[in-house]
Structure 1
Amino acid sequence: MRLSPLASLIAFVLIWPAAAQEQIVKLPGPGGSTLVARVMQPPGEARRPLIVINHGSPADGSQRARMEPPRFSALSSWFLAHGYVVALPLRRGYGESGGNWAEAYGRCDTPDYYNAGLQSAADVQATIAFMRTQPYVAPDRTLVVGQSAGGWATVALSSLNPPGVPAMVNFAGGRGGHQKLPGGVIGNCTPEALVQAAGRYGATARVPLLWIYAENDSFFEPALAKRMVAAYDAAGGKATFRPVGAFGRDGHGLAASADGVAIWAPLVQNFLATVK
């Protein structure tokens, strides 16, 4: 079923929260950890395709422990209206999810974004594996979406080509943004390392991946986004880059805002229509 963005929002009003089911679940994560996830189901008993939506990471690490399972209301409502079960996990070291924070990338001047992303991807894989055992989830039709650090997790996951995942969407993905740099300025830690890591992911990635970045993203500015996509594509990845204009005060929040649906929904819908 294909809905226009407006029809999707109308459907959302009709099914959520009145009829959609929502629960907090615990699931096995990497290394014996336990992850916490918010799960939302459309009404009905049929097995539904799954989408896993992945959160970002606060620039201030002290906020990680206080995080709750994300909701991403606009994204979740849109996919619920399209018949998806929505899973929103908290990765290791965030909120009530167990285990040590696994996504550290080291020093700002020598960051290891590549392995940090793969650690995040491992938590996404664990979520997919658990959710596919649930009686209301179709075991072979899964989408993965992420924003910011969750977008970077999605890019990293694309390099592993998980079976039964025909497409992924990266909103404003990256790491190392909004950090204090030498001289006291706030910026991105070693952007070139992001470009190099994107190329390493693209070398093995074969799943179609939509990249969406806003012109006024304060974490990952347009030129950097273009360089990451170019490196990913040049290495063999299957990227579709859809830059958009300025959004609100900071385009980094596009995916989390209800006002952003009219911008990203047509891009996502058209992208998914091309995926076999």
Structure 2
Amino acid sequence: MVVYRPVATPGPWPTLVFNHGSTGEGNQPAWFKFTSASPEVGRYFAERGWQVVFPQRRGRGQSDGLYDEGFEADRSRYACRPERSLPGVDRAIADLDATMAYLRQRPDVDTTRPLIGGVSRGGILSVAYAGSQPQMFAGVINFVGGWVGDLCPAADEINPVAFRRGAAFRKPTLWLYGDKDPYYSLQHSRQNFAAFEAAGGTGQFIALPAPAGGNGHFIHTERTL
């Protein structure tokens, strides 16, 4: 777990739990062991009095266990079928259950108003998890969230299903998406948001221009955001 915390104020601090994404197509096992964090997000919130924690789910970074969030049977890549992909959401939610149980015991965490957020697969996971624990968080920040890219033929049978799980969360959710995202087009992402709202979810969807370099999947790295 990577932690960013304020230096000017003593804890306990209000805490943002920020969840990492996937590893592209899931066909590079060496990438599973890279520790994932978003320094721009960590610094932004720490400068404003928040602690930010970046948990590493099972099999990611230095966490033990098997990384198994919806692979094909031969583990050659992420699956693009609901029956294999969606159980990966359940596994990630179980990992977050363990994370939150641990954080509630930490003396540096103010448990009265936590936020949850994430990028890409971590963004959709944060929305879904908030729906499973609707009283736990003060809000959700979803950067370019989705479980499988929209080039997956079954994306419309996977991403809206996971997002609808978050509809039980009645507090604010913020959906931030970038133009020219190679994984999640704005059209697909707006459809996911519409499915979330139709299921009873509430939130704000903001479409942003692509950052320098032209890849809207990395809007969370923009300090000017």
Q: Shorter-chain-normalised TM-score: which range?
A: 0.7 to 0.9
Give distance in 2, aligned partners of 1:246 and 1:137.
34
Opposite residue 158 of structure 1, the aligned amino acid is: A
1:52 and 2:23 equivalent?
A: no
Q: Does 46-55 or 114-123 show the bigger shift?
A: 114-123
Give distance in 2, aligned partners of 1:38 and 1:90.
8
Residue 126 of structure 2 corresponds to which residue in structure 1?
154
Give distance in 2, aligned partners of 1:81 and 1:176.
33
Q: Is the 8 A contact 1:199 1:233 kept in 2?
A: no
Aligned pair partner of 1:229 in 167, 178, 193: 193
Q: Is the 8 A contact 1:118 1:156 kept in 2?
A: no
Aligned pair partner of 1:133 in 102, 105, 110: 105
Q: Secondary structure at the match of 1:262?
A: coil
1:63 and 2:30 equivalent?
A: yes
Q: Does 115-124 or 205-214 show the bigger shift?
A: 115-124
1:142 and 2:114 equivalent?
A: yes
Residue 152 of structure 2 corresponds to which residue in structure 1?
188
1:246 and 2:210 equivalent?
A: yes
Percent identical pairs in the alignment equals 29
Give a deviation string over 1:200-259, Cα, whole Å, max 9, x none. Answer: 31443323211111111110001100100000000101121111122232110111x2xx
1:172 and 2:155 equivalent?
A: no
Between Structure 1 and Structure 2, how many residues are aligned?
215
Give distance in 2, aligned partners of 1:118 and 1:109.
15
Give a deviation string over 1:25-83, Cα, whole Å, max 9, x none. Answer: xxxxxxxxxxxx01222124331111111111112432343312x23111000100111
Opposite residue 215 of structure 2, the aligned amino acid is: D
Give a deviation string over 1:75-105, Cα, whole Å, max 9, x none. Answer: 0001001111111111112132112223116
Residue 204 of structure 1 corresponds to which residue in structure 2?
168
Quick one: structure 1 residues 205 and 137, their matched pair in 2 at CA, closer, same or farther if it must change by over 3 Å?
closer
Q: Secondary structure at the match of 1:93?
A: coil
Q: Is the 8 A contact 2:143 2:177 kept in 1?
A: yes
Give distance in 2, aligned partners of 1:142 and 1:116.
24
Residue 7 of structure 1 corresponds to which residue in structure 2?
none
Give distance in 1, aligned partners of 2:85 and 2:174.
20
Quick one: structure 1 residues 170 and 96, their matched pair in 2 at CA, closer, same or farther if it must change by over 3 Å?
same
Residue 182 of structure 2 corresponds to which residue in structure 1?
218
Q: Is the 8 A contact 1:188 1:219 kept in 2?
A: no
1:261 and 2:198 equivalent?
A: no
Opposite residue 224 of structure 2, the aligned amino acid is: A
Give distance in 1, aligned partners of 2:85 and 2:130.
15
1:83 and 2:45 equivalent?
A: no
TM-score, length-scaled by structure 2: 0.86
Residue 33 of structure 1 corresponds to which residue in structure 2?
none
Q: Secondary structure at the match of 1:98?
A: coil
Give distance in 1, aligned partners of 2:128 and 2:143.
13
The alpha carbon displacement at 1:144 in A equals 0.7
Unaligned stretches of 5+ residues in structure 2: 73-78
**Structure 1 residue runs of 4 or more that deviate by more than 3 Å after TM superposition:** 109-115
Residue 269 of structure 1 corresponds to which residue in structure 2?
none
